[in-house]
Structure 1
């Protein structure tokens, strides 16, 4: 039996197995229509496995939200989300017991992703019961905008379990300095690892397959594509985007606004009504959730990417667009000052006038100028956001929790 020092309270963590470390990523869902964490968590688990960590992934399967994202080399523990589970925020007693059994016999550390769902409670309960360190990635859910959205329900969850979940963290993981500040603003004193999400940089850009998407959406033919690709959600700023597009679209009749992404809230209908009221039906296309291949085609052939968000902890959609060589316009609700530093996009205040100005400037550039910006963005992603680099930093955090040597550079107190 080996003892490890507990960063929070000075008592030892206990493990009977240390090499390789056995790490379980806990996340409410990895179904493809549920948003960025589904892809980020599975990618992290997979790359950690490639780097020699015994990697587990614990989740619920919301089958109505598409297929689960796959991760090779990872031990997947997935439990069907029944009607009660779907309506009571991931409530699943069988899954709770299963995670406890897994923690009792096979795990060295639990890494919980997200807040407000019962699997996040199960992660804390299992970690405390079996004296395992608990890493919590908040995924932007403590940012001010996110806290205000569905505020009443979150207040109840906070009182019932979420405050204790967060107080029990050994280490927090934030993807940006802004997220670090959000955690600190609530009074939590634990160490915080600032590590961005990773991005898979595709070697093949599918420009030659543009017509496959045009076959589905003929209005895209012979147009430049202004692409939004993310969840269809109020925090993404889509109403502002459509209202701004009404103002400037008449100047740029060779451009078409493409809005792609899953709609789990039924919010897209409201946006379609708004577009119709503004007589923009022929200038805006809602594609819904695109398959993996068609998503690649859309990113490969977009001329400009826009995400006028109110709040992002990282903004994986921005990084993905840059990885395909597409210049990006986003707001300061996303932590992407790199767009200015590396001259690969626009980082603006979240106002319609600023959005209109950035869109106008970007669309007035020549194709060659936008392509040069896109190449700089692609180089940025390769340098700073490769999954191998991100997983290596996370692995260093895990090792530090157990070994107790000098903290890695990503740790902030």
Structure 2
């Protein structure tokens, strides 16, 4: 269960899609529950063949209040409930279900307990803690951390929590040719202030004279009105610098962007474990990313360059990346694909989830 079962939920939706696929592969019968929104109909194909139940929303979208979730949960006759994401009404619905049924509840915060997140609109989160979050957290049988950093975040917020650390799974690696890859940096994800797109665009402009003449920065993603407005405000400052916003990209559109990209760039202030990086690695695309992406394996293996979050650091990483020799880039590409085929592969992640679920059941 999550709040929005659509692109509106960003990387959390991608994780839900992958988790449903893993459950199906393990012989379980997954049921996906969430709240109806305008994108749900468009994105239903992502979980085709899996039961999906959506509740009608009531009131402000930020709270994701949907009282119908209670009856949907009961009708689903679940043996275990896995909640993806926090700070909204589905957390209360999940906690109430766990208390009502006595069955296991797994909570995946997806990076939403990171200090950068909890410090934003902290007064709202304090109200949520008091009204429903802490009560539901106490009823959880297991908290799921994507990284060791998130394990520490959970321990700080829920000291008594039992926690397991399992990363997101990369999609299946795809054979792709490096021959057609031009000097394209790709940003793919939500258009949100935590992604630091303003800093990325400013860094691109600053680095532009030291990049290949045909180099371009392609920004693909979706966001709320405030996020899109902030991006559109930043774009005029990059006029003539080869920066393009192409809107949302899914399916064949996303595949086409990956075919062009030499690097995925993600200078985020805060992440859980970004699916966009894992998707890029599965395509053999190295990353220019901040340490806040919580993927130190990328730096250790040579599949990523640390771009930091400041304009100067991102500028330096862009120049370093685009002045690599072809042989050096190919080594990075090979390291990226090795991570997607190894510790972040679906089979490796599925084995860890099978053990975690079996222990609770």
TM-score range, shorter chain: over 0.9
* 1:312 is aligned to 2:283: no
The alpha-carbon deviation at position 124 of structure 1 amounts to 1.1
Q: Name the structure 1 match of 2:233.
A: 273
Q: Name the structure 2 match of 1:78.
A: 54
- Give me the whole-angstrom Cα distance separating, in 2, the residues matched to 1:341 and 1:198: 19
Q: 2:68 aligns with which of 94, 109, 123?
A: 94
Q: Name the structure 1 match of 2:250.
A: 291
The alpha-carbon deviation at position 185 of structure 1 amounts to 1.4
SS state at 2:218 partner: strand
Are 1:32 and 1:68, in contact at CA under 8 Å, matched by a contact in 2?
Answer: no
Q: Name the structure 1 match of 2:110.
A: 139
- Give me the whole-angstrom Cα distance separating, in 2, the residues matched to 1:69 and 1:146: 31
Are 2:208 and 2:241, in contact at CA under 8 Å, matched by a contact in 1?
Answer: no
- Give me the whole-angstrom Cα distance separating, in 1, the residues matched to 2:52 and 2:330: 40
Q: Name the structure 2 match of 1:154.
A: 125
Partner deviation per Cα, 1:201-260 (whole Å, 9 max, x = no partner):
24343889x8xxxxxxxxxxx962111111110000111111111211122222111111
Deviates more, 1:162-171 or 1:134-143: 162-171
The alpha-carbon deviation at position 157 of structure 1 amounts to 1.2
Q: Name the structure 1 match of 2:18.
A: 43
Are 1:235 and 1:310, in contact at CA under 8 Å, matched by a contact in 2?
Answer: yes
The alpha-carbon deviation at position 109 of structure 1 amounts to 1.2
Deviates more, 1:346-355 or 1:384-393: 346-355
SS state at 1:167 partner: helix
- Give me the whole-angstrom Cα distance separating, in 2, the residues matched to 1:331 and 1:265: 25
* 1:53 is aligned to 2:28: yes
The alpha-carbon deviation at position 49 of structure 1 amounts to 1.5
Q: TM-score with structure 2 length normalisation?
A: 0.93
Q: Name the structure 2 match of 1:16.
A: none
Q: Name the structure 2 match of 1:360.
A: 319
Q: 2:82 aligns with which of 101, 111, 126?
A: 111
* 1:241 is aligned to 2:200: yes
Partner deviation per Cα, 1:108-156 (whole Å, 9 max, x = no partner):
1111111011122111111110111111011000000111223232222
- Give me the whole-angstrom Cα distance separating, in 2, the residues matched to 1:366 and 1:269: 37
The alpha-carbon deviation at position 90 of structure 1 amounts to 1.7
Are 1:38 and 1:69, in contact at CA under 8 Å, matched by a contact in 2?
Answer: no
- Give me the whole-angstrom Cα distance separating, in 2, the residues matched to 1:203 and 1:400: 33
Q: 1:207 to 1:401 in 2, by over 3 A?
A: same
Unaligned ranges ≥5, structure 1? 1-25, 211-221, 403-413
Q: Name the structure 2 match of 1:383.
A: 342
Alignment length, in residue pairs? 359
Partner deviation per Cα, 1:338-393 (whole Å, 9 max, x = no partner):
12211111124432222221111111112332133112101111101122221221
Are 1:135 and 1:169, in contact at CA under 8 Å, matched by a contact in 2?
Answer: yes
SS state at 1:338 partner: helix
Q: Name the structure 2 match of 1:256.
A: 216
Q: TM-score with structure 1 length normalisation?
A: 0.82
- Give me the whole-angstrom Cα distance separating, in 2, the residues matched to 1:29 and 1:161: 19
Q: Name the structure 1 match of 2:92.
A: 121
- Give me the whole-angstrom Cα distance separating, in 1, the residues matched to 2:61 and 2:48: 30
Q: Name the structure 2 match of 1:168.
A: 139
